[in-house]
Structure 1
């Protein structure tokens, strides 16, 4: 990582994508220290203030080594979308410091480099209606209302994607595909940045994920969960942090710490699998950095 960091000049923005525990933050810090810049978070969960350890946000010590932005600045119960993130990133791109944008949320990075349709927020009443329909009739109840163009583009087996398409259809009167066709130009075209994809080998990454969760426990993840226990709401946006539900369940006496550790590691490994698949499919034009590959 150090040698790669030295090869990155200070004249272009930097993008770093990769699965959880692949070393993205370490590379970003190495680049910032080698050639300057501000490290900008592109992870959808590291924005929340109430989970630093569990979401693997940079430590206070790392934050002191280089400027960091968009970490831990959103209340845990506040909605925060890709659109919110893009609006916060826009002025940073035009700021005085070269941005080093790092994260494992592929949708954020794709929206940044490919553009994102400016779809209005969904009214709570429509979202509640969609949730009720999904609970009563399953995915077919929502899919039946979608236009053919949207059905052809989304993963019709993914409840979150189907629900999102249904909400857009009912709140705007236009299909999601129609909105996507009107996508504005990207804030940061890929051709104007140095883009790296940390492409980790599966078993190497699995071992790192297990080790990292053990280090989280050593660093105080249980204490962090204890601080969140009194206000815990499983529906809160920050509650999606992998490891958070498992630690809360342990503190409530529902599972042993051993079972908590196993469940959190498995959940993180499953998430990493989805990330690796997504990045390899969508980021062919990024510079792939193989990790853990035996020669």
Structure 2
């Protein structure tokens, strides 16, 4: 048994059967294996908190649990959304709320940190941005840069956001323009969390970089063996790069191969690199935002 498997087995033994469980970690860090081990050891329903595993049209590429795994324990919120449909953090919170008071203890697992922090810290109920306002902001950013958007923001919001991050600035500008109210004001009115961190057993699988890079590479090769290319072929006729599900790492690369634009080996390499880069961003974000979670170090088995 590898060190990672031993860690998962030991953690599963520690969790009480009445404790809600939260599991966060970078892609390929072993989150789903831990969730399944806990469910088999002490019961519960495994609940998806990954923003891309909700889409029905990409199962292999998004590393959703297999049919065999789903037969071993109940799973919810996997593959229940059409691939062309938007699905926000707010949508996910509404879907997860009744599960928290259901008959089975939830084991909530995913690599989308925003879902997990919204669940444990609360989420401001900000109205959606109309497409016309989003286009207006994009045009202003393109023509005049960040200073043009920053000039419209209130002092409290300016003090709180990363003023060098275009996505954060654009989001704050959209909220201000849509609602006439600053993002900071909305955040200050955030309702109580659905599941406070103190009410759950929360694990952060903190994987060592090189160990995780190797796992990501091996996992993509397994995806190819398990039919990722066939899955891409099924999505080819309806492929829309702007569809929400098209953000799945590996999907654009495999579609490009099927269109004759790149070789399969180039698609494989590009997907692995993109996944490794995503994992790096996840590791940085989790270490910053999940300091109060129980950190489970994972590294080389050697």
Report the TM-score range of the alignment, normalised by the length of the smaller protein.
over 0.9
For 1:42, which of 49, 67, 76 is the aligned residue? 49
Shift of 1:156: 2.7
3-state SS, counterpart of residue 275 of structure 2: helix
3-state SS, counterpart of residue 95 of structure 1: coil
Partner of 2:276: 269
Moved over 6 A (4+): none
When structure 1 is superposed on structure 2, of 279-288 and 161-170 the one drifting more is 161-170
- Match status 1:146 vs 2:153: yes
For 1:177, which of 175, 184, 191 is the aligned residue? 184
- CA offsets, 1:189-238, max 9 Å, x none? 00000000001000000000000011111111111111111111111111
Shift of 1:293: 5.2
Partner of 2:193: 186
Partner of 2:75: 68
For 1:8, which of 15, 37, 55 is the aligned residue? 15
Partner of 1:245: 252
3-state SS, counterpart of residue 275 of structure 1: helix
Scaled by the length of structure 1, the TM-score of the pair is: 0.97
For 1:84, which of 66, 85, 91 is the aligned residue? 91
For 1:29, which of 1, 11, 36 is the aligned residue? 36
CA distance in structure 1 between the aligned counterparts of 2:297 and 2:162, rounded to whole angstroms: 28
CA distance in structure 2 between the aligned counterparts of 1:140 and 1:232, rounded to whole angstroms: 36
When structure 1 is superposed on structure 2, of 14-23 and 218-227 the one drifting more is 218-227
3-state SS, counterpart of residue 140 of structure 1: helix
Cα gap change, 1:258/1:97 in structure 2, threshold over 3 Å: closer, same or farther? same
CA distance in structure 1 between the aligned counterparts of 2:218 and 2:272, rounded to whole angstroms: 9
Shift of 1:294: 6.9
Partner of 1:135: 142
Unaligned runs of 5+ in 1: none
Partner of 2:126: 119
Shift of 1:65: 0.7
CA distance in structure 2 between the aligned counterparts of 1:294 and 1:213, rounded to whole angstroms: 20
CA distance in structure 2 between the aligned counterparts of 1:27 and 1:218, rounded to whole angstroms: 23
Shift of 1:154: 2.1
Partner of 2:262: 255
Partner of 2:3: none
Cα gap change, 1:188/1:66 in structure 2, threshold over 3 Å: closer, same or farther? same
Scaled by the length of structure 2, the TM-score of the pair is: 0.94
Shift of 1:139: 3.0
Shift of 1:128: 2.2
3-state SS, counterpart of residue 122 of structure 1: coil
- Match status 1:290 vs 2:290: no
CA distance in structure 2 between the aligned counterparts of 1:135 and 1:231, rounded to whole angstroms: 30
Question: What do you get for the CA RMSD once the two structures are aligned?
Answer: 1.3
CA distance in structure 1 between the aligned counterparts of 2:231 and 2:149, rounded to whole angstroms: 38
Cα gap change, 1:125/1:181 in structure 2, threshold over 3 Å: closer, same or farther? same
Partner of 1:221: 228
Shift of 1:121: 1.2
- CA offsets, 1:74-96, max 9 Å, x none? 11111111111111111100000
CA distance in structure 2 between the aligned counterparts of 1:155 and 1:49, rounded to whole angstroms: 34
- CA offsets, 1:9-46, max 9 Å, x none? 11110000000000000000000010000000000111
- CA offsets, 1:165-193, max 9 Å, x none? 12111111111111001111110000000
When structure 1 is superposed on structure 2, of 258-267 and 150-159 the one drifting more is 150-159
